[in-house]
Structure 1
Amino acid sequence: MEWHRGSHQHQTIAINKGIDLSQSFHTYGTMWTASTISFYLDGVQVHSMATPLAQLSRCTSWQDSR
């Protein structure tokens, strides 16, 4: 996810773990902290990214629309 001047854009990331997810049940998880969002499949972290708020804190063109 990327933020730009108060509006948001999203980015889709496909991660191939080499298993057929349709063959059995799986658990999915997300851990969202102040600095990162981590994604889990069956208890194993498969991706991590900076949180949108962490990106916004570095944005010089952000304007509050309230």
Structure 2
Amino acid sequence: MLAAKDLGYGTCPMIGFDPEAVRKEFNIPEQYIPVMIITIGPAKEESNPRKMRYSVSEVTTYNGF
């Protein structure tokens, strides 16, 4: 994904699919188990998926719930 970005492409990881169906569709040998699919294509614009971050104190609780 980093190499694709360096070449100007956009990528997106995908999980939560049926690995057996993917293996059959793409004729992947049985000794391999697909664990992630990565889409790749021309990037429309520079994006930053981490637009906002919470501080540690906003997301952490000590000795409680």
Common fold by TM > 0.5: no
Work out which of the two has the higher radius of gyration on C-alpha atoms and give 1 or 2: 2
Q: TM-score range by the shorter chain?
A: under 0.3
Higher fraction of strand:
1
TM-score of the superposed pair, with normalisation by structure 1: 0.23
TM-score (structure 2 length as normaliser): 0.23
